[in-house]
Structures are given as C-alpha cells and as structure tokens.
Structure 1
Amino acid sequence: MYADPPAPQPLQPGEAPPQGRSSGLPSPETATAWQFNPDYQRLVVLWQQVLPMLETLTSCLDRAYQMARSRDVWDAPVGDRYVEDLTEWRARLGQYRQAVLTSISDQAADTPRWVPADAGAPHAFS
C-alpha cells in the first residue's frame, strides 16, 4: 500500500496574500491586488472529487477480497485463482490511485496559490 501524496490546500479562512517587496519596478512580487489562483482552486476541487471515488473503489475491492479469502464463501482450487486475480486488481488499483493523486499533487506544487489580480498580461488570441 502506498502513502498518499500531499493534497493541495484550499484557501483557509483569514489567509492573506503574500506581501510584496517595494523595489519600484512592476513585477508579480510588487502587485498590490492579489487573487487566489483559480487554477490552483480547480486542483483542490479535483482532489476533493477524485479521492472519495478512489476510496469507494478500494473499499469495494477490499470487501470482495476478504469475502473471497473466506472459506465460508468458496472452498475450491478455483477460489485460490480468484483470490490471486483480486490481489492483482488491488495492486493495480493502488498504483492507479498513486499515479492520479501524485499527478494532482505535483501539478499543485508547480502552481502558485496567489496570482496578481491586475497583472494586465497579454493573452494569446485576446
């Protein structure tokens, strides 16, 4: 079993934007108005949507695995092969879970939490 990577943290009550340095030159560090990055917020929401789905899949597969291992349910050589299949499915689900959550976590680590609200940066095809 893998440990989940760190989750992106939602905007906390009372959290303030970063304080800019006053160098006199306009830059993202000296911006006066900041907003919580909408792209980062989408990653927070995505994590909150995906995690319960993965938990549901894991718990359903674990329940089937426990039932298959019980000799009260199935006591035959084919039952052992079924348990082996379930073991493989559980391993694949664990790897899938790790890949999905790591992808979201890595993207959140590369995405700034706060962006200047009045950057006025040009956008392609605007």
Structure 2
Amino acid sequence: MYVDPPAPQPRQPGETPPSTGSGALDGQPRAWEFNPEYQRLVSAWQAVLPLLDTLTTSLDKGYQMGKDARTWDAPVGARYVGEIAEWRTRLGLYRQAVLTSISDVAADTPRWIPRATGAPHAFS
C-alpha cells in the first residue's frame, strides 16, 4: 500500500493573502489574488482521486472474490487472481505517480500572486 503525497489545499474561508509585498516596495500594500494555476491543481487532484479510488475498490473486490475458493476452484482461478494482483500493483504505482506529480507541481506553485492593479502603461 502506498501513502498518498500531500494534496494541494483549496482556498479556505477567511484565508487572507500576504499582507505586504517584497522587493523594492517593501511595506507597501499590494493587491493579491488566489493563483488560478494553483486552483487548477486543486481541481485536478479532486477530480482524479475519486476515480482512482473507484478503480482500486473495483480491483480489490474482484481480487477478494477471486481468492475465495467458493468463487473459482480451478487452476485457472489462481492465474486469474495473479493477474488481478498484478493490475492492483500497477494501479498503485500509477496512483502514486499521478498524485505525486500533482503534489510536486503544487509545492512549486505559489498560492497567491500579485494582481495587476490596472496602472496605465505605455503602448497598451
């Protein structure tokens, strides 16, 4: 069994952005917005996890039924159970790879980004 990596956390009610900017304008108020790229990672995690859980549950159910002597009492039953066990292992590795990649990208993506304030720019 694999342990899932940490999930990207959605914006919590009452969560506030950083209070001050950094760099040349230290201490100056800045407009922030929740990063839409980070939100996409949260949405991807929330979409993928139930599907992976459904697949895992389906394979586990078939595996348990196949192991029961009342279900299949023939040499081919052992081969069938072995194939399901192999698919369970592959699904576990796939789950780990998908969730780890989402988690790694989320760890490198800032939750809050500076918002464009609408200041006039030359040639806009």
TM-score by length of 2: 0.88
1:19 equivalent in alignment to 2:23: no
- The unaligned stretches of length 5 or more in structure 2 are 119-124
Q: Which amino acid aligns with 1:110?
A: D
Aligned to 1:124: none
Q: Which amino acid aligns with 1:50?
A: V
Q: Go from structure 1 to structure 2 and tell me whether the alpha carbon gap of 1:108 and 1:117 turns closer, same or farther (over 3 Å shift).
A: same
Q: CA RMSD in A?
A: 2.1
* Residues in 2 aligned to 1:16 and 1:49: alpha-carbon distance in whole angstroms: 26
The alignment partner of 1:4 has SS state of coil
Q: Which amino acid aligns with 1:57?
A: L
Aligned to 2:42: 44
* Residues in 2 aligned to 1:71 and 1:11: alpha-carbon distance in whole angstroms: 50
Aligned to 2:122: none
Aligned to 1:79: 77
The alignment partner of 2:8 has SS state of coil
Aligned to 1:102: 100
The alignment partner of 2:63 has SS state of helix
The alignment partner of 2:33 has SS state of strand
* Residues in 2 aligned to 1:30 and 1:50: alpha-carbon distance in whole angstroms: 40
* Residues in 1 aligned to 2:22 and 2:2: alpha-carbon distance in whole angstroms: 45
TM-score by length of 1: 0.87
Q: Which amino acid aligns with 1:63?
A: K
Aligned residues, how many?
A: 119
Asked whether the 8 Å contact 2:65–2:71 carries over to 1, the reply is yes
State the shift of 1:21 in Å. 4.9
Identity fraction in percent = 64
- List 4+ stretches of structure 1 deviating above 6 A: none
* Residues in 1 aligned to 2:108 and 2:117: alpha-carbon distance in whole angstroms: 19
